[in-house]
C-alpha cells in the first residue's frame, strides 16, 4: 500500500583538499610568526642590555669568590671522609626561562651529586636558589630539598640577597659537615660551564689540622669569617649564574629569530605558489565557460 521512497542525499564537497592550506590559513600563520619574531627580537635586545650590565658587575664579584676561597685553599681545609656524613648542596638558578639548558644543567649536576653521595651513605640536603630549579627537582628528589628561594632573576642579584639566603640557611638548624655550591660559570658570550665550589661548616674549619698555624684566630673570629665566606660564595655563584643566563637567553632569542625568518620565507613561498594556483584555476574556468558559449 505504501511504497517507501528513497531520496538521494548529496554531500557537499569542500573546495579545500586535505593537508592543503588555503590562502587565509597561510596568511594567519604568517602574521603569527611575524609577531613572534618581533617578540624574540625585542627579548634579544633586552637580554643584550642585561647581559652587558651583568658582565660589568661580574668582574668585581669574582673578587668576593676568590677571596672567600683563599683561606680554604691556603689552609688546605678538607672534611674527614669518615666524619663527613651530612652534605649540603646549594644550587643556583633563577625564576625565569627561555634561556636554553641553563637550569637543566644545574639540576642534572645536582642529581648526579645526590646519587654519588647517597651511595656512600651520606645524608644530602639541597637549597634551591630559583624556582626553576625547584620545579626540576621536586618530583624526583623532593625529600632532599630543605629550602627554596624564589624571586631570583627578576633583578640583578645583590650582596643583600646573598646575605638573606645565607641567614635562612644558618637559621634552619641543619648542621652540615661539608657542602658545595653548584652554578653556571660564565666563560664567554656563547659558552658557560656548570661548576661547583666547596662550602665548609664552622666545626670542619675549626677542627682542620692546618688551622693550627693561625694562633690569633679565636672561635668568634672564625665563625664570623665562615659566615662571611658563605655569603661571598653564594653572591659569587649568583653573579656568575646571572651572567650565564643572560648570555644564554640572548643566544636563544637570536636562534629563535633566525628560525622565524626561515619559516617566514618558506610560508611566503607557499603562499605565492598557492595564490598562483588559485589564479590559474580561475582563468581556466573562465576560458572554459567562454569556450562553451
How much is the CA Rg of the chain, to the nearest whole Å? 31
Query: For 154-180, what is the mean pLDDT?
Result: 90
**Angle of CA points 258, 263, 265, to nearest 5°:** 95
pLDDT of residue 165: 93
**Burial of 173 per CB tally in 10 Å (0-12, 13-18, 19+):** exposed
Q: Express as a percent the part of the chain with pLDDT over 90.
A: 56
Question: Please, what is the end-to-end C-alpha distance for the chain in angstroms?
Answer: 49
Indicate yes or no: pTM above 0.85: no
Facing residues of 124 across strands?
87
Q: Are strands 86-92 and 123-129 parallel, antiparallel or unpaired?
A: parallel
pLDDT band (50, 70, 90) for residue 214: low
User: Over the stretch 177-193, which tens digit does the pLDDT of each residue have?
Assistant: 889 999 999 999 989 99
pLDDT of residue 268: 94
Query: For 245-272, what is the mean pLDDT?
Result: 94
Query: For 156-180, what is the mean pLDDT?
Result: 90
pLDDT of residue 82: 66
pLDDT of residue 281: 87
pLDDT of residue 29: 93
Q: How many CB atoms are located within 10 Å of the residue 4 CB? A: 4
pLDDT of residue 21: 64
Q: Average pLDDT over the chain, rounded to whole?
A: 86
Query: For 45-69, what is the mean pLDDT?
Result: 91
Q: Is the pLDDT of residue 173 over 90?
A: no
**Residue predicted with more confidence, 178 or 238:** 238
Q: Is the pLDDT of residue 85 over 60?
A: yes
pLDDT of residue 201: 85
pLDDT of residue 178: 86
pLDDT of residue 18: 42
**Angle of CA points 17, 22, 24, to nearest 5°:** 155
pLDDT band (50, 70, 90) for residue 155: confident
Among 234, 257, 208, residue whose Cα is nearest residue 89: 234
Amino acid at each position: 500500500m505504501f511504497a517507501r521512497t528513497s531520496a538521494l542525499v548529496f554531500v557537499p564537497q569542500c573546495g579545500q583538499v586535505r593537508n592543503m592550506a588555503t590562502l587565509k590559513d597561510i596568511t594567519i600563520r604568517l602574521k603569527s610568526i611575524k609577531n613572534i619574531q618581533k617578540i624574540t627580537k625585542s627579548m634579544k635586545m633586552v637580554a643584550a642590555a642585561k647581559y652587558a650590565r651583568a658582565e660589568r658587575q661580574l668582574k668585581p664579584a669574582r673578587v668576593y669568590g676568590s677571596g672567600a676561597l683563599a683561606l680554604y685553599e691556603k689552609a688546605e681545609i678538607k672534611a674527614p671522609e669518615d666524619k663527613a656524613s651530612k652534605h649540603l648542596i646549594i644550587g643556583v638558578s633563577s625564576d625565569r626561562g627561555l634561556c636554553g639548558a641553563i637550569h637543566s644543567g644545574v639540576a642534572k649536576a645536582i642529581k648526579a651529586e645526590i646519587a654519588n653521595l647517597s651511595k656512600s651513605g651520606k645524608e644530602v640536603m639541597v637549597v634551591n636558589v630559583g624556582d626553576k630549579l625547584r620545579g626540576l627537582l621536586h618530583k624526583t628528589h623532593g625529600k632532599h630539598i630543605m629550602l627554596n628561594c624564589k624571586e631570583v632573576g627578576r633583578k640583578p642579584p645583590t650582596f643583600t640577597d646573598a646575605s638573606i639566603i645565607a641567614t635562612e640557611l644558618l637559621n634552619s638548624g641543619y648542621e652540615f659537615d661539608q657542602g658545595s655550591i653548584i652554578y653556571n660559570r660564565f666563560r664567554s658570550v656563547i659558552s658557560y660551564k656548570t661548576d661547583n665550589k666547596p662550602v665548609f661548616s664552622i666545626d670542619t674549619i675549626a677542627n682542620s689540622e692546618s688551622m693550627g698555624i693561625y694562633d690569633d684566630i679565636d672561635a668568634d673570629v672564625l665563625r664570623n669569617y665562615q659566615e662571611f665566606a658563605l655569603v661571598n660564595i653564594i653572591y659569587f655563584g649568583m653573579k656568575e649564574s646571572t651572567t650565564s643566563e643572560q648570555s644564554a637567553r640572548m643566544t636563544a632569542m637570536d636562534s629563535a629569530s633566525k628560525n622565524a625568518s626561515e619559516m617566514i620565507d618558506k610560508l611566503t613561498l607557499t603562499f605565492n605558489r598557492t595564490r598562483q594556483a588559485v589564479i590559474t584555476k580561475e582563468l581556466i574556468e573562465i576560458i572554459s565557460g567562454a569556450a562553451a558559449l
